[in-house]
Amino acid sequence: MRSRIFIAGLLLLLGTAVFSPVPGVLGFTNPASAQETFEDSIAKWSRLLDRVQQEVAEDSITPERIDQIRNSLSAVRSEAEVLRDAANAELGPLRNKLDALGPRPEESEPPEPEAIAVQREEIMTDISAQTAKLKQIELALSRVNEAESSAIAVIRDRRIADIMTVSPFPLAPQTIEQALPEFLEVLRLIVESPVTWWQSLRENELRGSLFAKLAFQLTIAIAIGWGVRRLLFHWFGRDASLENPSYARRLSGAIGEGLANGVVPAMILAAFLPQALGEQSLLSGLFQSVAVIFCVAAIFVILASALPRAVLAPDLPNWRLLPLTAQNARTISRVTPVLALIFAIDAFFVEIMPALGQYALYRPSEEQRSLYLFVTNVLEAIGVLTLCRASLWRADPTAPGMSAEQVQKATQGPWHLWWMLRYLAAILAAITLLSSFFSYVVLGAQLINSLVLSGAIAGALFLLRGLGREIIGAVLRTEMIRTQIGLVHSTRKLLKFWLRAAFDLIVLITGFILISPLWGLPFGDVARVAVSVLRGVKIGSVTISPGDVLVAIVVFLVILLVTRFLQRLLSEQVLPNTRMDSGVQNSLTAGTGYIGLTIAATLAITTLGLDLSNIAIIAGALSVGIGFGLQNIVNNFVSGLILLIERPIKVGDWIVIGGNEGFVKSIKVRATEIETFQRASIIIPNSELVSNAVTNWTHKDRYGRVEVVVGVAYGSDVDKVMDILMTCLKEHEKIMTWPEPQVIFQDFADSSLNFEARGFIAQVELRVPVGSQLRIAINRAFVEAGIEIPFPQRDVNIKDIDRLENAIANRSSTQPPEPGQ
């Protein structure tokens, strides 16, 4: 189990996987041949499942045999699912035909024609046959699941028994006395393996050609690797002179250094693995296993050493991805390679033991196993505990790009996820130490190895997550997204949030799938559950599939983006070159958006596999309730379509409705947005614009009239006043000569003679500034001509003024004199 964990972890870190079918196990091949009938498949499955049940029940079954059985069961499940899908596909048309024939006539009704009755019986017979097939397939799948559960139970019970085995006390003198010589013997066999292999080569010419071939391949690999490494440093390398690089630049530098120092050397070593394991390989015997396992262990050490240095940049604090101090970054960068080296040496010796038993007939004793696992467990646990120290992960308030408050919030919170994981890792390392001291060395090895590999995978996914998030942000900042597709900043910000959230979820699920096998959950089981979930959960006659939902969302977004691109193309390049007015152009652009939205929604629903006829039935049943509940929304939607078709108003028009006045900014599905002269936005439901009176200053054209009312004092020269007003109108550059301006003697007011100066302008939105300029010119001309603009005048008449005067005089004569007079 430990060896499988080690190999699987390395392959996952390198991002490669090799899947190969296992044909011929238990006499079963997959898929079934085209000539094989359904009955033959059922009989073959039954024989296979009967033998599986017998073998799983035996105590002597080997782990290798259990793996073969599980492969065979997986093959049976795959073929059964294919046949089940085929049967369901045939049932659909048959049921449609039966529905087309209608229900069978009642006894009181006339019998149906004989031809239809015969056809009905044939269809029902076919439906019964397909239904029977489905039941047999479901029964076979149930037996497969039962047999696989039994096999998993056997594996689990044996693994638990192996893990909980009490080994000889590793520090006992007799254990050490027996284990040390055996371990020296293992070292001797490993060191002598290349000499033994070299001597086994038959001819000197073969040795020479082999040496030349290996030297040539090594030279080519090193040259290619060196060139790729130089390019990576040139493209993504860190510039020490750059004082404050952005996070994206720091991330690209970390990825470039990680690839150059880790992945490239690892790939050079990995290139020799197919040759060492291939059928034409000249390596053989024990040395072949030693070379392959050593190469895999070296790859792990290289990757595990390059990853922390790439993230932490111990010598370049400005390029550090995590807000750590320079001392802590250097300590982590030194401890991690040492821990990786110890783990790789441990895994090397564990992996080489089966090869020693095969080629050298060597069998390690329990004492050697106990002492060896104890030493490696203790060393690895100490390394993990060293990395889990709280002081090692204290944040640096002077970290680039982060304030002290952000650093404290991100790394020092007691319930932060990273701190919880650190505590968990420290607890598992402590359990490893305790279990090893109490002779449960296998349990300790399982815990510490799973912990180390989980940390390596999590570190790789951390870099992958950062890279993916930056790519999403970079794509949404491109010129095409901002201008050609026309996504505004708020929309791009919202889209970036959801895309990054979805990517984080994908990374999290990937981490669970990769790490869960390390902790006892088989990879095949996790993959099967994931595939089952992606295929969908059936609820009644509807199957809900996350995969279909994801594809539907992608289809909807892609069509929506294409629609926005077409809208932008129409509004900026195509329609401006036509003679259509702006209102027609806006209507065509908006209509394109509605059509694209409808197509996107329809295709998304179709991709989900939903039956539109069922949706229509449900919508019809709920139409009354929807009509009452959504009548305002439907009314506004229809009104919006009327506005776009009839165009009583259009974008850019100056309108007045009720007490609201402003320019039309947009006509949307439910409402129209008006921007007032104070730059305030007013959202008016479309139904109000259709049902109420609307004043549109710019409906047909943009011509408008400016009126200036002015009053002069009684006694002024009327002709002179009218001449001055006409002169002011004609001298203003914005006043049009046709229609001609007019001056009207409007009225005899209480305090003045009122005149009105009227002039037309080509841009009605300039009414206010032109009117202000005319008033200034008129006032200046009146002052120069001595024409008075009067204040309001009032005549007050007081009755019996004589009596009031007499009363005041009498009161003054009877008043006593003031003191001192």
Instruction: For the chain, give the mean pLDDT.
Output: 80
* Burial of 583 from C-beta contacts in 10 A (0-12 / 13-18 / 19+): buried
Distance CA(255)–CA(618), nearest Å, equals 53
* Burial of 305 from C-beta contacts in 10 A (0-12 / 13-18 / 19+): buried
pLDDT category of residue 16 using cuts at 50, 70 and 90: very low
Residue 634 pLDDT exceeds 80:
no
Q: Where are the domains of the chain?
A: 2-163, 173-476, 539-696, 704-785
Question: So what's the pLDDT on residue 590?
Answer: 75
Question: So what's the pLDDT on residue 678?
Answer: 87
Residue 754 pLDDT exceeds 90:
yes
Strands annotated E in 507-648 = 537-539, 542-544
Strands annotated E in 500-541 = 537-539
Residue 649 pLDDT exceeds 50:
yes
Question: So what's the pLDDT on residue 750?
Answer: 84
pLDDT digits (tens, 9 = 90+) for 68-78: 888 888 888 88
Question: So what's the pLDDT on residue 287?
Answer: 87
pTM over 0.85: no
Residue 375 pLDDT exceeds 90:
yes
pLDDT category of residue 542 using cuts at 50, 70 and 90: low
Q: Residue type for 490, please?
A: S
Residue 758 pLDDT exceeds 90:
yes
pLDDT digits (tens, 9 = 90+) for 226-262: 888 888 877 888 887 887 887 778 878 888 888 888 8
The fraction of the chain above a pLDDT of 90, given in percent, is: 18
Cβ neighbours of residue 620 closer than 8 Å, sequence gap 6 or more: none
Question: Cα–chain-centroid distance for residue 442?
Answer: 41
Least Cα distance to 7 among 258, 289, 387, 287 occurs for 289
Residue 18 pLDDT exceeds 50:
no
Residue 726 pLDDT exceeds 90:
yes
Question: For residue 261, what is the DSSP state?
Answer: I
- Cβ–Cβ under 8 Å, residues 721 and 779: no
For β-strands 654-657 and 660-667, DSSP reports them as antiparallel
Q: What phi and psi values does residue 747 have, to the nearest 5 degrees?
A: -170, 160
More confident residue, 713 or 233: 713
pLDDT category of residue 407 using cuts at 50, 70 and 90: low
Question: So what's the pLDDT on residue 724?
Answer: 93
* Burial of 636 from C-beta contacts in 10 A (0-12 / 13-18 / 19+): buried
3-state secondary structure of 551: helix
* Kind plus residue range of the DSSP H or E element containing 675: strand 671-675
* Kind plus residue range of the DSSP H or E element containing 116: helix 114-163
Scan for tokens 């040139």, then name that residue. 234
Question: Cα–chain-centroid distance for residue 697?
Answer: 48
Residue 721 pLDDT exceeds 90:
yes
Q: Any idea which of 18-22, 62-66, 370-374 has the lowest mean pLDDT?
A: 18-22
pLDDT category of residue 538 using cuts at 50, 70 and 90: low
Distance CA(734)–CA(708), nearest Å, equals 14
Distance CA(377)–CA(444), nearest Å, equals 6
Segment 642-655 shows an average pLDDT of 82
Cβ neighbours of residue 368 closer than 8 Å, sequence gap 6 or more: 178, 179, 182, 183
Domain 704-785, CATH 1.10.10.10 — does that match?
Answer: no
The fraction of the chain above a pLDDT of 70, given in percent, is: 82
Distance CA(152)–CA(34), nearest Å, equals 32
Distances (CA, A) of 16 to 12, 13, 375, 679: 6, 8, 32, 59
pLDDT digits (tens, 9 = 90+) for 340-360: 999 999 999 988 988 888 887
Distance CA(400)–CA(251), nearest Å, equals 13
Segment 317-326 shows an average pLDDT of 82
Question: So what's the pLDDT on residue 619?
Answer: 58
Segment 551-570 shows an average pLDDT of 83
pLDDT category of residue 145 using cuts at 50, 70 and 90: confident
Question: So what's the pLDDT on residue 717?
Answer: 92
- Cβ–Cβ under 8 Å, residues 676 and 737: no
Bridge partner residues of 28 (DSSP): 25
Distance CA(591)–CA(538), nearest Å, equals 38
> Strand order in 671-675's β-sheet?
681-685, 671-675, 660-667, 654-657, 695-696
Q: Any idea which of 86-90, 218-222, 707-711 has the lowest mean pLDDT?
A: 218-222
- Cβ–Cβ under 8 Å, residues 666 and 672: yes
Question: So what's the pLDDT on residue 632?
Answer: 74
Question: So what's the pLDDT on residue 671?
Answer: 86
Residue 3 pLDDT exceeds 60:
no
Question: Cα–chain-centroid distance for residue 731?
Answer: 65
Q: Any idea which of 558-562, 620-624, 802-806 has the lowest mean pLDDT?
A: 620-624
Scan for tokens 């899947």, then name that residue. 19
pLDDT digits (tens, 9 = 90+) for 492-529: 788 888 888 888 888 888 888 888 888 877 766 676 67
Residue 730 pLDDT exceeds 60:
yes
Distances (CA, A) of 402 to 214, 399, 406, 821: 50, 6, 6, 90
Question: So what's the pLDDT on residue 27?
Answer: 39
